[in-house]
Amino acid sequence: MSSIETNSELAFDVPPEKRPRHIAIIMDGNGRWAQQQSLPRVRGHQQGAHQVRVVTETCSKIGVEQLTLYCLSSENWKRPQEELEFLMLLLTQYMIDERQTMIDNNIRLKIIGSRDRIPADVQKEMDKSLELTANNTGCCLCLAINYGGRAEIVDAVKQISAKVKANEIDSDAIDERMVSEHLYTAGMSDPDLLIRTAGEMRISNYLLWQISYSEMWITQKCWPEFGEAELLHAVEDFSKRKRKFGGLDKA
């Protein structure tokens, strides 16, 4: 077995082969946490952004190859305009502040979702971080921004349909692999572990195709209080599960 040094008191001794290669997280409860602390909702988003760094560094440290975070859903645009403007400001600041950290830690940034409604100045900083980390070979940090799982599948269907119409592919050749290759996550493995914070028991239109066989781990803790210890606990729990993928247990 191999163990790692962490800043938490949680003993972590999970063999590398039992750790998830890809972790996806639904980061929920920023506003709820702020309200519990009698703070403005924006303070919850600020603390949540800090936890992104903590969790990303922990994943990199324990050898997680890919980390996908649900930052902004396509449904979140229903929120108050003031809150949305702050989220865009926070996203811009994150791209600027964390850029060097990603470079120094060999983290490659990937962003999935639609760019519609994302302000041009935000996109500019996103593109700069994508370009500067493109050749990094460590953990892939994938941020789902203005993302919706159903829209992703619809977009994939449209792309494949256009290729069939143009006689680039035969409709009989369409299979699961082809669909996967036309999703926003093309080239990425499916998540092994799906974590949701704040105790909610729903998928919220997140990676609907990709999480078909993901193990789920739910915590009552809100995202701003989800840190290294919680992540390692989730990984330990994952390591004890038997993943059958529809088959039977082997004796």
Convert the pLDDT of each residue in 135-145 to its tens digit: 999 999 999 99
* Domain annotation covers residue 165: no
* Domain annotation covers residue 55: yes
* Domain annotation covers residue 79: yes
Convert the pLDDT of each residue in 118-141 to its tens digit: 999 999 999 999 999 999 999 999
* Domain annotation covers residue 244: no
Q: Which carries the bigger pLDDT value, residue 7 or residue 93?
A: 93
Give the structural domain span for 48. 18-148+189-239
* Domain annotation covers residue 232: yes
Convert the pLDDT of each residue in 40-82 to its tens digit: 999 999 999 999 999 999 999 999 999 999 999 999 999 999 9
pLDDT at 248: 61
* Domain annotation covers residue 181: no
pLDDT at 11: 58
The pTM for the full model equals 0.92
Active site residues: 28, 76
* Domain annotation covers residue 99: yes
pLDDT at 9: 46
d(CA 114, CA 74): 8
* Domain annotation covers residue 95: yes
Number of domains in the chain: 1
